[in-house]
Structure 1
Amino acid sequence: MRTLLSALLALLALVATAGGLASAWIAGNLVEESGFVALAAPLGDDPEFQAALAESLAQEVTATSGLPEQLRSFVEPVIRDAAGAVTGSSGYPGAWTETLRLSHAFTFAQAPDPGETAPAVLTLDLGPVAQLLAEDVGGRLGVDVPVPDDTTIDVGSLERGGLLSGVADAVQGWRLYLAGAAVLGLLAIVVARRRSTTLAFLGLGVAGLGVLGLLAVDWVPAAAARAPGTSALADVFLGGLAGRAGADIAASSMPVIVVGVIAFVLGVVGRLAAGRRRA
């Protein structure tokens, strides 16, 4: 009976550990604004993303420039040239950072009222970069170029609604989850007939969770690649963000593996020592 109870407590401890570690990463890198900005900011320097961003901005600004149709063919090359150059301007880094902040706030806004259509799981608000482009084009043409009324781009096709808000609230308890996992693990060891064996089992399980985290470097981008696309810019952004997320999860998993291996070794050593004493 004690062995069965110990095994059940150990299993629950590992489940709570997995939930706590996943929640800690999501809370720190997606729900927290600073973490999201730090994770996504380097994408602004990616050449493929910059090309997609320039193309998207050029299309939007051209469509809302307010110029007569007969002048658009003349002005469009100027706008495209300015859009290609905007990512190299001195104001671009600040505009991109502000874009990420606005996008994070928009994404984690309150859920829509019942009956309203929920927006995409992530929404990029390119307003600051579009403003930078409009000012550049206006300076080149000597006219005021309006910023498009809608500068948002949906990324992903999952509906946000209350689900994302619920996840954001749930992951905030990651400290409690990990504390609960520690308590369950200690109870499993105390209840066990062979405590060193239980410690080794727990260590092996924690190390296994870390190994699963290492695999995120492949499966997170692969999962993002299977998501339905909404636009060329959204696809490039989602793919880049998924790649960075997978790499960060893998890097964060190394300390977990180390802790698990240490616990496993201590359990094995304790088991061997107990065997020698009985002999």
Structure 2
Amino acid sequence: MKKTLILTVIVLLIGMSECKSHDFVAPTRIEKPVESKMVTEYVKDQLRYVEENKNDIQSIEKLYHSINHWWNLGVYVSSETTRTITRALIKVFYNIENLPKSEANKNYIINIIGRYDNSLEAKGFILKLITGRKEKYKEEALRSISQHGVHGEDVYYKLKDFIKKGIITRTETMTALRRANPEKALKDLQEIAATTKDVKEFVWVGQTICDYHNPELIDILLMRIGEFKRSGDFEPTLAIDHKLLDKYIQNAKGNKLKMALLVKEMH
């Protein structure tokens, strides 16, 4: 009995010493980011000013640049705050007077909402503009779709549905599809690259595929580039990013390498 007790104590002591001899890292609790009071108060003050001076281009422009600056610096802005901004700016958007400078204000609003908020209100606003009659707002709304703002599988399928109904073309929607859902959009882009007969569409889809920054994805572009001829400003080689082509060449062999080098000479 005593021997068993002594042996147990020795084992425990050895175990404790081993724990001390290794860098033991206790599980850390992941804290939810906290929005600074400065951001919260600034947004409140700025939205108040925007509402009072909605026809002043500088009021909305200042808010846009502030949010963009915070994003570039990695300053945390909560989803609650971006949603508050969206709700306020949607009201402003539909109440701005029809003045020449109003268009710039509305474009800023579209970009703030599309690029930085992914609430239901933001999605509804952007998708409504895309299906609207005003082409200028449709184009701006498509450009504003972002992986940091309005995006997601639901947005992706909505865009696909709009293409099917003829509301928008697949050519003008390529980048928006990629930003809405990169994984699902890739298959669509590869299909377009493999089947299109139009050099303009080939260039656009190629550039969108290159935005994935994966040299392995440009195989289909290299295979088809010789099928197209220049049309206006659209040169087939513009479909492939030259930096991505250089990375492709580093690992390419045989006929793939020959084709890549030939395209590089044409760049």
User: TM-score when scaled to structure 2?
Assistant: 0.22
- From the two aligned structures, give the one with the greater helix fraction: 1
Going by fraction, where is strand more abundant, 1 or 2?
A: 1
Higher RCO (Cα < 8 Å, 6 or more apart): 1
Normalising by the residue count of structure 1, what TM-score does the alignment of the two structures yield? 0.21
Q: Decide which structure has the larger Cα Rg and report it.
A: 2
